[in-house]
Structure 1
Amino acid sequence: MIIIDGSQGEGGGQILRSALTLSMATGVPFIIDKIRANRDKPGLMRQHATAVKAAAEISGARVEGAEVGSSRLTFTPGAVKAGDYAFNIGSAGSTTLVLQTILLPLALTGTSSRVTLQGGTHNIG
């Protein structure tokens, strides 16, 4: 189990997305504390919660703390499975950042997948 301090570096959502991607690709579980602690609105926002949900769905992961506002997350991935997936952020949160989280693990399955994302597509910053 890897433990990550989510307030390090820029302290934003990228550390979470990278951890999810690498965890699914390697099968190594992690805990991340202080998620987005340096931000005006700390904790998981909707797009981050959707990225966690998407990662959990494609990998059959066990997850604790995936609610909006959560500052701690435990993620234990299972095997990534190709498939037909749809995820709705429910806000203008960036679809590209959710896709960034799941693209590599799905590609590593060696089988085609279809992913439909609903949310913001031209977000700046």
Structure 2
Amino acid sequence: MALEDSLATAMAAAQGGDAAAYRRLLNACLPVIAGIARAQGVRGEAVDDVVQDTLLTIHKARASYDPARPFLPWLRAITQRRAIDRLRRAGRRPQEVHDPLAYEAHADAGPAPGMRIEADQRNAAL
């Protein structure tokens, strides 16, 4: 609960214009955001992207935080949404396979489905 209290206090001070409290808040949020992103399934360098996107969202939405409510659920909701956005973007990109075994397995797969039927029909017609 100490983390919750310190983050909520820092956010309330930041909303009041305390720049040092805002810097402390953002620095304290870094490991929390990264942990939430990883728990959502974000891996590798994409975690850094989620952290950056979340920090930008916090900056833009900081006025929407209600100091009477807990800070961590507010942060978690923002982070989860940014993580989902990142996973969606990653899912739309084609993924290259650099596994030699994948190429070998594909090369040894034999004729494509339907090709044998076509070959049999051609042979029967001849």
TM-score by length of 1: 0.26
Larger Rg: 2
Query: Where is the helix percentage greater, Structure 1 or Structure 2?
Result: 2
State TM-score, norm by structure 2.
0.26
Identify the structure with the greater strand proportion.
1
